[in-house]
Every structure is written in C-alpha cells, then in structure tokens.
Amino acid sequence: MRAAGVATCHCGAIRIRVRRLPRSLTSCNCSICRRYGALWAYYTAPSVTIEAPARGLAAYAWNRRTRLYHRCIVCGVVTHYTYRRKRSRAVVAVNASNFDLAVIAAARVRLFDGAGTGRYVGQSAAGIQKSRGKTRRKTIDLSTRARR
C-alpha cells in the first residue's frame, strides 16, 4: 500500500500508514476519549497498515467491550481503536494526534457529544434546529455532560 500519511506513537515503535490524509477529525467528550485526548480519523480496515513489533501493542476494552483501544506497550500512547465484532465494513479509528501537526491543522475538527446526546454538535446538522420555518443554532454545554 502506498501511504499518504504515517502516524507514530511517541517512541516510534508503532507506525500506522494510511492511504489518504484525514479531511475531518472527531473530538469526542465521552469518558474515555476525553481522558485520552484523542482526535479520531476513521478509515476502512483495508486502507490502514499497522506496523508494530511482536507484543508491541496492548489493548483495553471497557463498558460493553465493543471497542478495543490499542496503545504502545513502550510509551503508552493510544494509537487506534478497532471494533471487537467483525463488521462487513470494518472501521479502524486512528488517533490523528499521532500524525504530523500539519495534517491536524489542515483537517476540520468535528465535536461529538459522546457523553450525552450521541450526536455531532457545532456546525454539523446535529447542532442546527429548525423552528417554525426559521433556522436557529442549538447550543449544547459540553462541560456539564463531560462529568458523567
């Protein structure tokens, strides 16, 4: 696979190659993403190559155990997550914070209210409501939802 971008952990032991650079990133405020401080870029599994030494990754699953969060065993940086169940269109979420800063700066960041509504907020359709034929902005206070 010809890689357009490479994300690495802090020590460089883990390298994730992607076919295209992300155009949009997701910042989620759920309890785990908030703590990881990750910006997620989503890819189909065939468009991602993960290079890691044998036993170089550790995985963590919580709550319903639907996702496995992978981190470097040496430096501890969260590199990506995968879904435990096999899907017809498998998704790999790459922690875009591990890309070069120029990649992050060029991408649009979308806010996902994972701690509350389960919807995107801000400029996305989830953040705009129609009321009596008029469009008005809906404000969601993410700081109160993050305490859950």
pLDDT tens for 18-44 read 999 999 999 999 999 999 999 999 999
- 98 bridge partner residues: none
Instruction: Indicate the SS3 state at residue 26.
Output: strand
Q: How far is CA 117 from the centre of its chain?
A: 17
- 8 bridge partner residues: 15
Instruction: Indicate the SS3 state at residue 82.
Output: strand
**What is the residue extent of each domain of the chain?**
5-145
pLDDT at position 52 is 97
Beta carbons of 113 and 140 less than 8 angstroms apart: yes
Architecture in CATH for domain 5-145: Beta Complex (2.170)
Q: Is the pTM of this model over 0.75?
A: yes
pLDDT at position 32 is 93
- In Å, the largest CA–CA distance within the chain is 59
Other residues' Cβ atoms within 10 Å of the Cβ of residue 116: 16
Exposure string over 93-106, b if 16+ CB within 10 A, otherwise e? bbbbbbbeeebbee
Span 94-120, pLDDT tens digits: 999 999 999 999 999 999 999 999 999
Residue 34 or residue 62, greater confidence: 34
pLDDT at position 62 is 82
